[in-house]
Structure 1
Amino acid sequence: MAITSANQLELLQTAEAVAREKMIDPGLVVEAMEESLARAAKSRYGAEMDIRVSIDRKTGVARFTRVRTVVEDEELENYQAELTVVQAKDYLADPQVGDEIIDEVPPVELGRIAAQSAKQVILQKVREAERERQYEEFKDRAGTIINGVVRREEYGNIIVDIGRGEAVLRRNEKIGRESYRPNDRIRVFIKDVRREVRGPQIFLSRTAPEFMAELFKMEVPEIYDGIIDIKAVARDPGSRAKIAVISYDNSIDPVGACVGMRGSRVQAVVNELQGEKIDIIPWNEDQPTFLVNALQPAEVSKVVLDDEAERIEVVVPDEQLSLAIGRRGQNVRLASQLTGLNIDIMTESQESERRQKEFALRTQLFMEALDVDEFFAQLLVSEGFTSLEEVAYVEVDELLVIDGVDEATAGELQARARDHIDAVNRAALEKAQKLGVEQSLFDFEGLTPQMIVALAEDDVKTLEDFATCADWELAGGWTTVDGQRIKDNGVLEPFDVSLEEAQNLVMTARVQLGWVDPAELVQDELGEGEETAEDDEAEA
């Protein structure tokens, strides 16, 4: 095939037709043609030559040129595409390194093999342009809902035609056991769009919590307008879901707006989700209050929040336990996902039993340590005393409020408490010495004898050993493994040592050992303070 005047315009016509069919820029098709013709020309004139082809966008005339670049003498490697400054003087008056010498060469005739190769280059370029267009079109649509048509099923995955491309709805992203046949219309959530070697991959979902949020946004104008905000969504796809909403307009009830007249709005979402039951819950900044709402329809008697452990303890009436937990733990699991807290549920009788057990243990402690009768020990516990340290070092006035306690009795109680504490400390020190604890750890301030014993039993027997400990090894903490929070027990956790206290103790030990310069610590604290001030100013 020769590039003659008869088929020059055909190049442009072909480019236009391909661009319309693939919905890409015609210029990209022409560039692909130029590259394919240049490759064919190289096979005719020599692969080492730098042959370039330019097609006039108006006339379709293809111009073939040979390009040679001026280089330094010592850098001359390719004699067909490069020449030295001296050689370039035959073509240019004042040649400089980097100048190009362009000579026009005769057009080539494409044989059958060359024409086939040119066709493959054009097709490859067109495919790449089509993939790039598809990626650019859908990359910003991730997180939105789209309507598509089912094309086929492959190994349980549904291939969906979404207009200008295909996307995949994986088996685990379908609701329950729903099935589709070719040409079925389907509404899906664009979960992810990835650029991959084989082209853009668009992944769909019908189980994502965001899918439900977007459906509500479509059905509830107040959410679309920003008057009502969806704060959290938790789903057990195809079975049950909880959605937390808040209204920024006091005159609008967020729950009522989402339910709609006679349940019309929420029912539209339920129908789309194959009958999935939806609990619409008012969101609250106060976590315990929000949790009480999240556990609906169960009633909650008491909530105890542990901020550090991100756990929450819920007490419910005995007859409400099964309702609070839900079938197969569904209700409490969804409430946990919604609030982001680990929830422990117990009945009122279980909580009462636990409190009675704690009351009995503290009563027994005071009876043995203070040598008092059961009635008097119970009085101390009832007044809120939980440890001997509280009795020994509390203000005397707080003991005088107990019936039958005068100043002499209060003094005697505190003396007995201190004597018992001293005896326990002496026993702990003796045990620590037998375990091999060095004097450096005994001299370190902030550790009680009982703490030193606990450290020694964990093979921490010197100040150097203590300084190498991590704060969480001392105070304990939580680790997330495969989405499950696992408790890490700390050596000093039984002594109510917080993470911050553990950090201070370890850092003090490192300073005493000379591992850390105190000046650097002060500088770091000042730097953090400045950053905080800058952040506050920025927020203001």
Structure 2
Amino acid sequence: MAITSANRLELLQIADSVAREKMIDPDLVLQAMEESYAKAAKSKYGADLDIRANIDRKSGELQMTRVREVVQEVEDYSTQMTVEEAKAHIDNPEVGSLIIDELPPMDFGRIAAQSAKQVILQKVREAERDRQYEEFKDRQGEIINGLVKRVEYGNVIVDVGRGEAVCRRDQLINREMFRNGDRIRAYIKEVRSETRGPQIFLSRTAPEFMAELFKMEVPEIYDGIIEIKAVARDPGSRAKIGVISYDNSIDPVGACVGMRGSRVQAVVNELQGEKIDIIPWNEDAPTFLVNALQPAEVTKVVLDDDAERIEVVVPDEQLSLAIGRRGQNVRLASQLTGLDIDILTEADESERRQKEFEVRSKLFMDTMNVDEVVAQLLVSEGFASLEEVAYVEIDELLVIEGFDQDTAEELQARARESLDELNAKAIAEAREMGVEQSLIDFEGLSPQMLVALGKDDVKTIEDFATCADWELAGGYTTVNGERHKDDGILEQLDVNLEEAQELIMAARLQLGWVTEEQLAEDAATEEDGEGETSQETEA
């Protein structure tokens, strides 16, 4: 394998041929050759030596050199030498200088040549993988067309031109079958660089696949006049898509449906007959949900922003339609809006309201010693607790039919007396549980709150100050994509997160754990952060 003048240019021709075949830079092939020659030379002269190979990019001439570094104190005699030893090679050597000795032409032998070949092949493969990764990493989020190369255990291996991609079994639409040579269209969901090469993962079930298909079929979406705001799919069965138009003259639903349904039908055909509901998007969550639950009719919507839940009331005969087959309709509507949905019939809601009415009426009858008619009048006017009756402006009681000044004053007096009795019992109960006076005297906690805290073993102001706001007010934790409710100690007493945070900070301030200045700085920092976020949003 000695390099002669006759085959020097052949090196360059081989490098150019391999580069064209693998679609990589010719210089990368030459670098691989240089590394392979250096490795072969080391196997002959010694693996510890620093031997380098250089192929002239114009003439193809191969030059082999041994390199040693000039150092103050030699640690490796194979690659280093002292200043004194270097004087025999160059004039005025300095620490850090390199002594380069040219090696004579050599015949590498069969084993060395085979080793060199393996290095070249490995380097070319690495360069090819890098090229594939660079090409496909920026195409993540696009739709790609390819040919089915083979099917392994339900996973479809796709030839995408300059590489292979895989569409896993769980990313294929149900009952979808592909054979070798079939054409397939899919969404590039992820591109990963791994040791065995770039891994391109495709999907036909991703919501983004449907969005991209509509983008291809509807010019208004491609131009940005219409935007797809949300997509929810039950692949192969049904889907819901929320769209909005930024041009008042263009109907987003009509544009997506197309003339005689031509546009939406093209998407349906690609998705194996998947039924698609196109819904006008609305910033108002309840309005959007009413649209999303189509074709069911909705008579009432109650939104709980903190819990990210929404309660929907439908006519009795519409319940099965709203829920859908196997809960499909409500599940897709929930995915589309990002809200947990509770569906009630009008009969269920009426029964629940009746029970609430009876419970509140009984509360007023038992605690204020009034008859059923008076209690029901109070509930009908929206009064739900003793505190509301006791401390409301007296004029709000006087507007109730049949209530005069004396009646209103008597009701408030009874409500306050009952509250005092209940509060006294609650404080006594809290003391029996071991709640300390420091917590009882802390401003902002009602006697009922003290009892709830005592039951949860929060008995001192120090215990209270160490609580987190969600421990008091409750909250939600997302685990594996599912929201789970965390009950708060004071949640049943209508304490929200903001109120809980204020109480905790007041306790820490009273204990000296924080100062007013620190609280002011924290508040200013939060406001600055919100301002920056707002500016970014506007930009």
Question: Structure 1 unaligned runs (5+)?
Answer: none
Report what 1:194 is aligned to: 192
| Residue among 211, 230, 233 paired with 2:231 | 233
2-side partners of 1:415 and 1:245: how far apart?
57
Report what 2:403 is aligned to: 405
1-side partners of 2:313 and 2:43: how far apart?
83
| Residue among 505, 513, 522 paired with 1:524 | 522
| Per-residue Cα deviation, 1:104-161 (whole angstroms, up to 9, x for no partner) | 1112212110010000000000000000000000000010000010011112111110
SS at match of 1:151: strand
1-side partners of 2:513 and 2:199: how far apart?
52
- The answer (yes or no) to whether the contact 1:192–1:203 under 8 Å persists in 2 is yes
| Residue among 210, 214, 218 paired with 1:216 | 214
SS at match of 2:227: strand
Q: One-letter code of the match for 2:206? A: A
Q: 2:128 matched to 1:125?
A: no
- The answer (yes or no) to whether the contact 2:154–2:169 under 8 Å persists in 1 is yes
Report what 2:17 is aligned to: 17
Report what 1:304 is aligned to: 302
- The answer (yes or no) to whether the contact 2:330–2:341 under 8 Å persists in 1 is yes
Q: One-letter code of the match for 2:104? A: P
2-side partners of 1:111 and 1:91: how far apart?
31
Q: 2:39 matched to 1:46?
A: no
2-side partners of 1:388 and 1:513: how far apart?
33
1:384-463 equivalences under 5 Å are 384-463=382-461
Report what 1:67 is aligned to: 67
- The answer (yes or no) to whether the contact 2:15–2:26 under 8 Å persists in 1 is yes
Identity of aligned residues (%): 74
Report what 2:32 is aligned to: 32
* CA shift for structure 1 position 520: 1.7
- The answer (yes or no) to whether the contact 2:48–2:78 under 8 Å persists in 1 is yes
1:444-483 equivalences under 5 Å are 444-483=442-481
1:341-356 equivalences under 5 Å are 341-356=339-354
- The answer (yes or no) to whether the contact 1:135–1:193 under 8 Å persists in 2 is yes
* CA shift for structure 1 position 15: 0.9
Out of 377-386 and 242-251, give the one that drifted further.
377-386
| Residue among 363, 366, 379 paired with 2:364 | 366
* CA shift for structure 1 position 537: 5.4
**Number of equivalenced pairs:** 538
* CA shift for structure 1 position 535: 4.7
1-side partners of 2:535 and 2:319: how far apart?
49
SS at match of 1:167: strand
1:110-189 equivalences under 5 Å are 110-189=108-187
Q: One-letter code of the match for 1:16? A: D
* CA shift for structure 1 position 526: 2.3
Out of 101-110 and 26-35, give the one that drifted further.
101-110
2-side partners of 1:536 and 1:28: how far apart?
48
2-side partners of 1:531 and 1:208: how far apart?
34
2-side partners of 1:355 and 1:298: how far apart?
23
* CA shift for structure 1 position 534: 4.7
Report what 1:497 is aligned to: 495
SS at match of 1:313: strand
Q: One-letter code of the match for 1:27? A: D
1-side partners of 2:328 and 2:166: how far apart?
29
SS at match of 2:231: strand
- The answer (yes or no) to whether the contact 2:42–2:48 under 8 Å persists in 1 is yes
* CA shift for structure 1 position 438: 1.2
1-side partners of 2:529 and 2:475: how far apart?
27
1-side partners of 2:238 and 2:524: how far apart?
51
* CA shift for structure 1 position 6: 2.1
Q: One-letter code of the match for 1:393? A: Y
SS at match of 2:138: helix
1-side partners of 2:462 and 2:382: how far apart?
39
Q: One-letter code of the match for 2:367? A: A
1-side partners of 2:117 and 2:535: how far apart?
62
| Per-residue Cα deviation, 1:321-349 (whole angstroms, up to 9, x for no partner) | 00000000000000000000000000111
SS at match of 1:141: coil
Q: One-letter code of the match for 1:388? A: L
2-side partners of 1:414 and 1:399: how far apart?
9
1-side partners of 2:5 and 2:236: how far apart?
65
| Per-residue Cα deviation, 1:57-110 (whole angstroms, up to 9, x for no partner) | 12211011111112222xx22223212223223333332222212221112212
Under a length normalisation based on structure 2, what TM-score does the superposition of the two structures give? Answer: 0.98
Under a length normalisation based on structure 1, what TM-score does the superposition of the two structures give? Answer: 0.97
- The answer (yes or no) to whether the contact 1:44–1:108 under 8 Å persists in 2 is no
Aligned pair in 2 of structure 1 residues 511, 236: CA closer, same or farther (>3 Å)? same
What root-mean-square deviation, in Å, do the aligned CA atoms of Structure 1 and Structure 2 show?
Answer: 1.3
